[in-house]
Amino acid sequence: MHLSRITIAGAIAAGIIVATAGSASAHHCYKNEWADAAYHHHRAGGTAWIPLSQMGRQFLIPEELQDVCGWAADKAVADFMKERNLTQEPLIHGKAVTGSGAYAKGKAPQPYSYLTDADFDLLGRALFGYLAECQEGLE
Name which of 50, 70, 52, 73 is nearest 127 in CA terms: 73
d(CA 136, CA 54): 23
pTM to 2 decimal places: 0.69
Q: What residue ranges of the chain have pLDDT lower than 70?
A: 1-29, 31-32, 95-112, 139
pLDDT at site 22: 44
pLDDT at site 76: 95
> Is the Cα dihedral 122, 127, 130, 132 positive or negative?
negative
Q: What is the DSSP string of 92-107?
A: EESS--TTHHHHHTT-
pLDDT at site 23: 41
pLDDT at site 75: 96
Helical (H) or strand (E) element with 114: strand 112-114
d(CA 91, CA 139): 34
What are 68-84's pLDDT values in tens digits? 999 999 999 999 999 98
Q: Are 90 and 39 in contact (CB under 8 A)?
A: no
pLDDT at site 3: 52
Tell me the residue type at 35.
Answer: A
Name which of 71, 70, 27, 23 is nearest 49 in CA terms: 27
Work out the percent of the chain whose per-residue pLDDT is above 90.
14
Alpha carbon 9 to chain centroid, angstroms: 19
